[in-house]
Structure 1
Amino acid sequence: MNAPESHVDPLLLTLPTVLTGTQARLHAYTDADGAAVRDCVLASREHLAPWMPWVKDWDDPLQGERYVRKMQAQWIKREDFVFIIRDAATGAFAGACGLHEPDWSVPKLMIGYWISPAFQGKGLVTEATRLLVKFGFEHLQAQRLSITCDAANVRSANVPQRAGFTQEAYIRNERRNAAGALSDTLLFGLTREDWLALRAAGSPEVL
């Protein structure tokens, strides 16, 4: 059965700016977060560089402040929804995640995430992704969420599978990696119907 035509006006959506799980706590950026996000990016640069070439541009001491202001503006305009990932137990800045590239005619969005190596393997990214999924379907009225990653990034590819997504495609020679070599992309998708069915079944993959 087809979903009804979208009539979502994103500027009228009322959105929470804090999402809380048992391991991860997500916060939309505030003015005070610029230095912390820069410090975390720089500490994670070697870990992130093979998959996220943008980390090379963070040497400017004011880059964190610029980034935070940009994310705040895009949130207000409903163009991007980025959150800090904090460790729920300590409050430490662990990484970031978000819902990107909204197409409000569907609506659909793409999830992205990164984590500091100090917090890798602790389940924060998986729970953060599940929190974003709930946020996307409950608050952004999404009909579809997707995640893409380099096919060689095994850790990143494990996250959508643990969050109930289905691998929909293996796209060859779709991107260039940080070294400039051609690489393949994995595409994962989750529809509103998928998510509702998982919730009704009490699946641990969703919140």
Structure 2
Amino acid sequence: MHDIDTGMLPTERESNGLSIRKYEPGDVAGIVEAVQESVPTVGAWLDWCNKGYGTAEAEAWITHAHESWDKGDSFVFAVSDATSGDYLGGVGLSRIDHEKLSANLGYWIRQSYQGRGVGTQAARLAVGYAFEVLKLTQIEVVCGAANRPSRRVAEKTGARFQGLASGRLTYHGKSIDAAVYTISAPAARRATA
């Protein structure tokens, strides 16, 4: 993967009216609106999703997303309605290990679109990107052990539960237990890696 020109990688995938695409400067307002709406649900698990999140934080996130993409360190996508372009959340591949051909999968969906399968569809698109475009062979999902919605997305995406990891995550400075899942590339892909 070291030889991949990240500027030549596809920046969007679409399926069934849902799109995951590279973040754009025009996403700022949609991100802020989605974060503010989602503090009661997403904010229960992710520190950055709080009432203080505003334009500066969204701009910094987009800058970080582009810089990480250019370095090949992570590939994060805006989740949007393919027709309207409405911002629905985010999904991404981070902690990419170029030697082990692995990455971490993370996702969040704005509150008004939760429970509709959007997270599962976005996660599946990102996993497809990981295996087909980036040629990775292993994806890990780590979420709060008590975060049933995120665990359901992992399971519906085809991830296998590996176990609980005591204190693996931190939320507001406190360690919390995590559920750890893995998704392996199809056997044919692993054999050619």
TM-score normalized by structure 2? 0.88
Q: 1:193 aligns with which of 160, 171, 186?
A: 186
Q: Secondary structure at the match of 1:39?
A: helix
Amino acid at match of 2:50: K
1:101 to 2:95 alignment: yes
Q: CA RMSD in A?
A: 2.1
Alignment of 1:1-207 (within 5 A): 8-9=1-2, 11-13=4-6, 14-56=8-50, 58-178=52-172, 181-193=174-186
Question: Shift of the alpha carbon at 1:111?
Answer: 0.5
- Once the two structures are TM-superposed, the CA of residue 136 in structure 1 deviates from its matched residue by 0.2
Q: How many residue pairs are counted as aligned between the two chains?
A: 189
1:176 Cα deviation from its structure 2 partner: 3.8
Distance 2:174 2:41 in 1: 18
- Equivalent residues of 2:28, 2:55 under 8 A apart: no
Cα distance between partner residues in 2 of 1:122 and 1:139: 27
Q: Which runs of 5+ in 2 are unaligned?
A: none
TM-score scaled by length of structure 1: 0.83
User: What per-residue deviation string (whole Å, max 9, x for no partner) do you get for residues 150-199 of structure 1?
Assistant: 01000100111111111112112333434x554311111011235869xx
Query: Highest CA radius of gyration, 1 or 2?
Result: 1
Which 4+ residue blocks in structure 1 deviate beyond 4 angstroms? Answer: 194-197
> Within 2, Cα distance between the matches of 1:169 and 1:106?
21
The SS at the match of 1:149 is strand
Distance 2:70 2:152 in 1: 31
Note closer, same or farther for the CA distance 1:22–1:53 as it changes in structure 2 (3 Å cut).
Answer: same
Cα–Cα, structure 1 residues 11 and 193, in superposed 2: closer, same or farther, change >3 Å?
Answer: closer
Q: Once the two structures are superposed, what CA deviation does each residue of 1:121-175 show, in whole Å capped at 9, x if it has no partner?
A: 1111101111111100011110111101001000100111111111112112333
Alpha-carbon separation, structure 1, partners of 2:189 and 2:137:
11
